[in-house]
Amino acid sequence: MVHKPANYDRWPKESLVKRVMELEEELKRRGQAPEVQRQERALAAAVTSIEADLKAAEKKKKKAAKFDPGKYSTRLIALKFAYLGKNYNGFEYQSSAKMPSIEEELWKALVKSCLIFPERPDEVDFGPWEYSKCGRTDRGVSAFGQVIGIRVRSNKPLPKEPQEEQTEGNGGDDVVMAEAAQRQAEAEGEKAAAAADVDHKKPEWDPIADEIPYCRVLNRLLPPDIRVMAWAPVLPPDFSARFSCRERQYRYFFTQPAFAPMPSSLEQKSGVKQGWLDIDKMREAAKMFEGVHDFRNFCKIDPGKQITNFSRRIFESDIVEVKDLESDLPYLGLPEFQPPAGSDGSHPKVYYFHVRGSAFLWHQIRHMVAVLFLVGQGLEPPSIVEQLLDVEKNPRKPNYVMADEVPLVLWDCIFPRLSDEEANAVVPGSSGDGKDSHDPEAEGDVEMVDSIDWVWMGEDDPMSLYGAQGLVTELWGTWRERKMDEILANRLLNFVATKPDIERKLIKGASSAPPKGIKKVYEGGNKAQFRGTYTPLFKRQLLASAQEVNDKYAQGFGFKDAEEMTKTKNWRSAIREQKDKNKKSGRSKAGGAETPAEESSS
């Protein structure tokens, strides 16, 4: 067997560090003086026979316990899981990242549990395991309904191999052998009949009760902020977590007020109370996203994919209040902090931008939310959404900042039951621009129902939810830790906001209002940004069009334009080869940023 060199590009960071330490230790040993080496050899020879026996026994034990994948069957399953993305570099594994990814943590748990058994466990390579993923969330983005498909080890017994019949003759002994074989067959037939009676009484293998508890096994090995919630034992034919998914739901959470408002006595007189959002106008603008539109002005152009179709179907888009949260700040109820029109109930309230769609472009939702925040602050009218969607009139995106990533959640992924025609509408390997998803003339079901029969944790065994290591038990600990942080920060903020008497004005001549021309603008995140005079979107610098971005990328690799490049056979392979040459020659990368493997809305 030819030895394959290690592919260090696919090694996780901790494996690389371990390997470097091993190599450093090896170099240190080789550089030692001969005298020290002789002393070490003498010391090694003085090891007692008992220690040697113990090592031999331990080695034998490890050898006996070596996992043999040939003894196990496998099956294709789907896993539905959740993660809090703040501490991760996104979902997809990237060897150059400083922070771990969700895929990296999944890989380590799958390998350690022997649910998959790669030849090189240190190299993250899902290729041999029929792996597919529904969405690729970016750094900091969370998911409560992420789905992957993967082939894993199963407890299902392997089918018994049929015994080969002897067909070769043996001269004069044929008759004797035939008679002996007949007698043996009759005896084995009687044994088989007796065994059949026993097997008939033995219950059949249950695909759930007798199967590996996949969720529990993985949750014991995954970090506490990544939890597997359900698995699917039965999947549709040709299932792909990416292409079989026809609806993705996202939620972007925010507070009302969005940032700390100033008391009326310190504010410049205007019709808008800073910090408070106009939810009705935001909802009016959000509804304009519904339907099939060209979203090139609501995304980041990725030249590495050479996308030319930016149309996406949005089934639903709305602003929704979260009713079941208690996180009041009493000082916001004082008259001097209230908006001019007033607001019912205690504050802050929590809302989310709710969006359901067939597929999304890169950073699409964070761009959509950023514009809604401008509308909510009265800086742009709701009609700005229609103007940005009119790409015939406005083919270039204004230069604006997209919203922060942490409040965004991939809420759920829906796999409806499809007809053969619908299932073939999106060809695996394409950009996902299927007729049923994005064609304005196509009739699509906007109320899709998930057809996968998920086995949720707790449905097999309630103690897997509420036991010592149950899912609810573990998540309660995660929630309470963060809740205590919130409570303490809440009490501190309320204390600081109410304790001082700002009417005392102990320093004469101290400013009682912020400088003129300075405005707070909320762009997502935890605080507002101080800006000068606000510049409306269409009076800002306009970025290059999608065609210009694609052409510039192609020209960086020696092509005339994007059309010539995409007509070239295997153009992606040609670009990879060119990048490798550039690296070897020390040249900087041509084109643009590295391309994500899949579309991402985050």
Rounded Cα–Cα distance for residues 144 and 555 (Å) = 41
> Residues 125-144, buried b or exposed e (16+ Cβ, 10 A)?
ebeebebbbbbbbbbbbbbb
Rounded Cα–Cα distance for residues 32 and 29 (Å) = 6
Q: Is 442 helix (H, G, I), strand (E, B) or coil?
A: coil
Residues 6+ apart with CB under 8 A from 581: none
- Answer whether 302's CB lies under 8 Å from 594's CB: no
Residue 560, classified by CB atoms within 10 Å of its CB into exposed (0-12), middle (13-18) or buried (19+), is exposed
- Answer whether 431's CB lies under 8 Å from 306's CB: no
Residue 316: its H or E element: strand 311-322
Peptide bond into 536 cis (omega under 30): no
Rounded Cα–Cα distance for residues 433 and 435 (Å) = 7
Out of 53, 68, 138, 173, which one is annotated catalytic?
138
Of 352, 290, 345, nearest in space to 321 by CA: 352
**Structure token digits, residue 363:** 């950073």
**Structure token digits, residue 440:** 């304005």
Provide the total of helices (H) and of strands (E) in the chain, helices listed first: 16, 12
**What is the four-CA torsion angle of 495, 497, 499, 504, rounded to 10 degrees?**
170
Residue 147: its H or E element: strand 142-154
Residues 6+ apart with CB under 8 A from 553: 303, 304, 306, 562, 591, 592
Q: Catalytic site residue 138? A: yes
- Answer whether 232's CB lies under 8 Å from 455's CB: yes
Question: CA neighbours within 13 Å on the CB side: how many for 62?
Answer: 6
Rounded Cα–Cα distance for residues 419 and 416 (Å) = 10
Q: What are phi and psi of 294, to 5 degrees?
A: -90, 115
Of 366, 337, 368, 353, nearest in space to 275 by CA: 337
**What single string gives the DSSP state of each residue in 212-269?**
--HHHHHHTTS-TTEEEEEEES---TT--TTTS--EEEEEEEEEESSS-PPPGGGSPP
Give the angle subtended at the CA of 308 by the CAs of 305 and 309, to the nearest 5°: 110
- Answer whether 134's CB lies under 8 Å from 242's CB: yes
- Block residue for tokens 């109370």: 273
- Answer whether 595's CB lies under 8 Å from 304's CB: yes
Query: What amino acid positions are annotated as catalytic residues?
Result: 138
